[in-house]
Each structure stands twice: as structure tokens, then as C-alpha cells.
Amino acid sequence: MLAALVLAGIVAAPVATAGLLIQARRRGPASGGWPIMKRLVFALVATVLLAAIVIGALRLFGDSQRYAIEGAAGVVVASLAWLPVTRRWSARGHLCWSATIFLFVVYLAFVLDWTFDSNLGPAGTAGGLLLWLCEVFAALLASAYLWEICDALGSEQWRRRLSRAETVRVPDAELPFVSLHVPAHNEPPDMVMDTLRSLLRLDYPRYEVVVIDDNTDDEALWRPVEAWCARHGAKFAHLENWPGYKSGALNYALREMTDPRAEIIGVVDSDYQLKPGFLRRCAPLFADSWVGFTQAPQDYRGWTRSGYYRRLYYSYEYFFAVSQPSRNERDGAIFAGTMGLIRRVALEQLGGWDDWCITEDAELSLRLLRAGWSGLTVDESWGQGIMPLTFEALKGQRYRWCFGGIQLLRMHWRSLLPGQQTRQNRLSTGQRWSYLSGGVQWYGDLLGLVFFVFLLAGTANLATGGGALFRKLTAFLVATVPVLVLLGLVRAVALLRRSTGASWRDAIGAFFIWQSTSLVVARASVLALFARKAAFLRTPKTSEKTKWWEALRANWAESALGVLGIAGIAGALTKPTELAGPLLAALLLFPTLGMLAAPVNSWAAQRAALPPDLSARRTTEWRRTRERRAFVRGAAVGGIATVSAVVVAAVALMLAPGSRQVRTPQLVNAPPATHPASPSPAHSSQTRTPTVSPSPTVSPSPTVSPSPATSPSSTSSPSPATSPAPSVTPSAGSLADSSPVTAGAP
């Protein structure tokens, strides 16, 4: 029966995904009794249609009528069970969620059952269990990304979303006094002064501007800003040898420089240029006494002239177009620092900014929500900053974001576990899920790297004449992996394109920008487990006229893994007549392209066209970052060694020979009357190959930043946008190498 349920999920998930990605016009109101009833009716009708498709497909594949009905019944039960949770979504969003989660669950159950019931032997069973646990973790990550996808594309009713059309008009006398804090560190003075000019043009009657120069070591950089502030009435302070980095500077501004009248604290990065209406739009939202912070999108300028910067821009926009609105619906939004406002009394009650976390903004928003305050996000962009202008600077930024996210988990994980609300922890279940899943998703890149190593081990085993890892699967189980890998990629790119307005080309390019930073994120996710302080990356020094080999040198690790991936693909294709050969080559293609995209993006960033002021900044960006490394090297190396040991151990267990014939998993079931419980004589005559060890099918899971969800067999990654969804299926037993693998083969 489990086999029938898995096959039903394999059919239902792609069909439901295709339905979700078809853009449909929404007509009429989304709230009220009638829209809710309409969504329910449509969901029930769509569930019946999907069940009919499942029955037809399973019968076409050769399943018995009984098993086909059981598979369809499983899809129906899963759909009905999720109806209360997905009542805001359209029928398309509901079915995509329920069918994919159904596939996750039955697939993991099928693999676990097969692991214990197929004569793998002690070592093989241990290897299979280790890989199964990786799949469980991947499925959880995939579920988090899938929720964002279905929420973004399927929601017909948003209860907390502040659209661009909404405005809050408050008389000037009732507007709160706002203190805008502008931290700066080693920034070009002209850029900082451009930001300050935009702040003085704000259409708001009651505010002040406070500039805090944080440990800039070149007096020529901060003296012009100090003089400008003196001429225009802005407050300025230069801090020497001040601890706490940005958090320390913001705490100094809060305690020593903020006007006593200030009710709201704003944070604006020194490269941002604001629209005049920013405070008029966001400050009145604090009329609700429980609002602790508001966050407008982070936006960027200077990206339209270059293909690379367009792709980078869309990769950033995903978070504020997809992730943040979904989190906001559960009051789990992140305070992202710049373009955000905080209620002063709430900030002071919590003791200000914590300087132990390098993502102090996100950490503060979690403490605010835990204390019972609420957060709101605004859809409309009110300011534009500057993206990292070199690929190496982007890698450093992603490194810091990941490290800070893991720091947050290490400090606050107890607050994020399921449980009742208390006076010390007022987080709701939705808020806990938002922050817990957001932090854990950073490990998607590490998981993708682990499965990439598994794939390389499989190709080496296959090319050297073994093939015990991947060769012995039935056609349908083998087909599950590439189908769901493709689904993950299509979901990620389609959602990015739909949410940001990017072209297909730019959306695919943005996806590979996420993939190309996966190695540095994987490194940060390991180091953050052992190091208490951030290990900042040094930016390589070069010139504007970068040579192509310098792009390779600056990304040597990604380039090396890309070369290994090419070698693995070539090795797999040495066995073109075996099903495992083309399959492994196809599965290696995606993560290999992701690694090779790193030097390509580095070269493209240096050659991309920019306005003169940004071009000059790009030249200095290589030399500007000189942050200190502050971490225990021994612990960091130990963490990487531990992860490597786990990978090596799993591969060794998979290759360990067993003592009995491994039983082949069977997805297509013949009618019960003719289906024996044990292998038939025909099967025995076919399986003349030596006994094999567990031979898991391992799907790569290259990761992305931001993240959409994939199935347990998918390879999308997270960044902000795609999910790691590796598939690790212990091998089917042995089919003779010379005998064809056919649908329904025992």
C-alpha cells in the first residue's frame, strides 16, 4: 500500500504544482462568508478531479484497481486534513501544499520501511538510516519554502498586508517625533552626504537626523561629513575604538544623542536615498499602541544597465516580495535594519541593541515579538541603496547574514520551540515557526554540499566498475528524483518571475546567483555552531581591470568543486547504457553549474556597466573591507572535520557488502491475487548479480537564498528563495546489469 501512496504522490504533486503556477485572475472580494464558501467548494471539486487523475495514471502504469483507489484515497484524505489550515488560499494553492506534503510523508515512510525490510545488513541499514535522516531534514526545509510559495501565489485574503494603495492621514500635531540614526563606517563622504540630503528633504514636520561614524580609521572620510552636519543642523559623532560594531554605535546614538522628545527611532544605512514620503507613510502606523516596529522594503539603484546587476537585484527583491509578506501574515516579520522604524520605549525596555549578534536587526525584532509587541511590513519601496558591487562583497554579506542567523538560533532556540505563551515568551506558534524555519533554512546550502559529495562518490563507484550505489532501482523510483528536481527549479524560477516581474532569463540568473554563494553559506553555517563571534571574510584586493584568472582565484573553492562536478558527469557518462549513468550525470549538472557560476558572476560583476559614481565605489570596494577575524580556529576546523567525517562514514556504509540478496523496492503493484509476498522464480533468475550493499539514490541539493520548496527529492536550495530538498532513497535491490529495467519490474 505504501508503494501505491508514493506513486499517487508522484502523480499528484506535479499536477497540483502546474495548477498553482497557472496565473488566474481574482474576481470579487476575498473576505467574507461567500468567498470562504467558494474557496471550500472549489477545493473539494479540485480534490475530486485530482483523485480521478491519480486513479487514471496508476491504472495506466499497471497498478491494480484496489491500489489505484487506495492511492487516490490517500490524496483525498491529505487534502481534507489541510483544509482548515489553508482556508485563505485558493484551491490551487491548497492542492499544491497538501499533495506535496503528502508525497513527503509517504515517501519517507516508504524509504524507512524498505530500509528495514530489504536485507541490507547492519552496515547498510546504518547508512540508509543516516541518509534517511538527511532526507527528513531536507523535507522540513522544503516544507518551509513550499509554504512561502503557496502563500504568495495562493493567498486570496491578506489580513495584515499594507498595500501601496493604503494611506494613513494624521494631522501634523499628532505625528510622533522621529529620530533617524545613520551609522557609517569607512564610507565615501560624498555618498553619506547624498543620503543626508535626502533625509533633509523628507515631508515630515517633527524629526531629527543623527549621524554616528563608527571607528572609521581615515580622518579624510569622516571630517567632510562632520562639517556638512554642522552646516545643516544634523547631529554628528565620531567614535574611536568603540566596541560592538554597528550595534555599539546605535546604542551610543540612542543613549547619548537622541532627542528626549523622540518616540520613534529610525535606522537608515549611509548609502540610502529616501523618498520624501517615507515618514508620512510609516510613522502613523504607530498609532496602534502594540506596534513595536515597521519595516519598508530594502531597495536598490544603479542595476538597470547590466545583466548581472539585474539578476542580483531580483535575487534581493524575492525576500521582500515573497518571504516578508508571508511572515507578516503570522506577525513574524523581520526587522531588517535600514528603512525600519522602532518604538523607542520598546527598544529601551529591551536594553537596546545586542552587540553579540552581527544581524542585530533581526535579533531585535525577535525580542520585540517575544515581549508581546507587534511588527508591520509596508509593501511600497521608500528608499534605494547600493547593492554589493563585487561578487566577493556579496559572498561576504551572505556569510554575515548566515552567521548571524545561526547566532540567533543558538541564543533563542528555546523560545522558538512549540509551547504555550508565557509572560516571558509571548510568541505565537506562527511567529515561532517563522523564525525557527528562517534560521534552519541556512543549513540548506550545507545539506546541498553533502549530497553533492554523495553524488560524486556514486559516480566514482560507477565509473570504476562498481555501481552499487545507484544502479539497482526500478524505473519509477529512479524517475522520481529528476522529476521532483525539475519541479523544484520550475517552482523557484516561476515564483521569482511572478513576484518580481523579472524575465525568465533574469529569474534563472537570479536563481544561479543564490546557488553560486552556497559554498560560503555552508561554511558560515558550520563555523557559527562553534564560534561565538563572527568570522568576517576578507575581500580580495584587485583593480577595476580584473583578469578572468583573478575571478577564478578569488573563487578557487567553487571552481575546484565545479571541475570535480564536470569530472563526475564525464565519469557517469562512461556508462551510457546503464540507467544509473545518465541519471547521475543529470543530477550532477545542476549543482555543478551552481559552483561554476561563482567565477562567472565574479567576472561579470567586474565587467558590468555602472554609473561613474558607482563604478568608482566598486573599485574601492575590493580594498574597503578590513574586518578582523574573531573566532577560534581550532573549533572551526573541528566543525568542518566533523561534517566531513559524517559524509565519509555514510559513503563507506553504503558501499559495505551485505550478506543476503537486497530486495528491490516495487512501486507498481500487480493485482493482489497474483502478487507474491516473496520474489518470484522469474525475479530470482533475473537477479544474478552479486549481493549489493544499500544503494541510496541521493539527489543533490544545491542551495539558494532565499528559497521555494521542493520535494524530498528536489535539489533547490535556499537562500532566500529556494529550498534544499535532497532525496536519499536506499537502493533497490539487484537487477541484472544486462536486463532492461522496465515499469513494474520486480
DSSP-assigned states of every residue in 653-716: HHHS--SSPPPPP--S---GGG--SS--HHHHHH--SPP-----EE------SSB----TT---
Is residue 629 predicted with pLDDT exceeding 90?
no
The whole-number average pLDDT for the span 493-517 is 86
Q: Does domain 172-442 have CATH number 3.90.550.10?
A: yes
- Is the pLDDT at 42 greater than 70? The verdict is yes
Evaluate if residue 582 carries a pLDDT over 50.
Answer: yes
Q: Are 359 and 405 in contact (CB under 8 A)?
A: yes
pLDDT tops 90 at residue 374: yes
Mean pLDDT of 488-492: 71
Average pLDDT over residues 190-212: 95
Q: Is 60 exceeded by the pLDDT of residue 268?
A: yes
Q: Give CA–CA dist 522/402, Å, rounded.
A: 9
What does the pLDDT read at residue 140?
Answer: 84
Instruction: Retrieve residue 578's grid coordinates.
Output: 546503464
3-state secondary structure of 317: helix
**pLDDT of 228 over the 80 cut:** yes
Q: How does the average pLDDT of the chain come out, rounded? A: 78
pLDDT given at position 536: 46
Band of pLDDT at residue 653, cut at 50, 70 and 90 = low
Amino acid, res. 487:
L
**pLDDT higher at 745 or 501:** 501
Give the bridge partners for 209, in sequence order.
Answer: 180
Backbone φ and ψ for 316, nearest 5 degrees, come out as -75, -40
**Cα-to-chain-centroid distance, residue 312:** 15
Higher-confidence residue of 318 and 124: namely 318
Predicted local confidence at residue 33, as pLDDT: 67
pLDDT category at 412 given cuts 50, 70, 90 is very high
Please give the grid coordinates belonging to residue 17.
504544482
Domain coordinates in residue numbering, the chain = 2-117, 172-442, 445-671+684-729
Taking 70 as the threshold, does the pLDDT of residue 233 lie above it?
A: yes
pLDDT at 363: 94
Contact by Cβ (8 Å): 174, 349:
no
Q: In which band, very low, low, confident or very high, does the pLDDT at 277 lie, cut at 50, 70 and 90?
A: very high
In this prediction, residue 576 carries a pLDDT of 84
Q: SS3 for 210?
A: strand
Percent of the chain topping pLDDT 70 = 73
Best mean pLDDT range from 12-26, 338-352, 477-491: 338-352
Q: Is the pLDDT of residue 698 over 50?
A: no
Does residue 325 have a pLDDT over 70?
A: yes
CA dist., res. 737 & res. 609, Å (int) = 54
Give the pLDDT confidence of 119-133 residue by residue, as tens digits. 767 777 777 787 788
Lowest average pLDDT, out of 29-38, 208-217, 562-571, goes to 29-38
Residue 294 pLDDT level (bands cut at 50, 70, 90): very high
pLDDT beyond 60 at 712: no
Q: How far apart are CA 274 and CA 296, in angstroms?
A: 11
User: What's the per-residue H, E or C state across 11-39?
Assistant: HHHHHHHHHHHCCCCCCCCCCCHHHHHHH
- State yes or no: pLDDT of 136 exceeds 90: no
Are 699 and 714 in contact, with CB atoms under 8 Å apart?
yes
Q: What is the DSSP letter of 169?
A: -
Q: Tell me the Cα Rg of the chain.
A: 27
pLDDT band at 688 (very low <50, low <70, confident <90, very high): very low
**Between 560 and 718, residue with greater pLDDT:** 560
Give me the pLDDT at residue 657, please: 59
Residue 733's φ and ψ, nearest 5 degrees, are: -65, -160
> Does position 703 have pLDDT exceeding 50, yes or no?
no
Look at 733 and 534; give whichever has higher pLDDT.
Answer: 534
Segment 422-443 shows an average pLDDT of: 91
Model pLDDT, residue 234: 96
Helix (H) or strand (E) holding 180: strand 178-184
pTM to 2 decimals? 0.80
The three grid cell numbers given for residue 51, joined into one nine-digit string: 483523485
The mean per-residue pLDDT over the stretch 674-692 comes to: 40
Phi, psi angles (nearest 5°) of residue 721: -125, -30
Q: Is 597 helix (H, G, I), strand (E, B) or coil?
A: helix
Asked if residue 99 has pLDDT above 90, the reply is yes
User: What would the grid cell of residue 72 be?
Assistant: 487516490
Res. 362: pLDDT tops 80: yes
Per-residue pLDDT for 260 more than 90?
yes
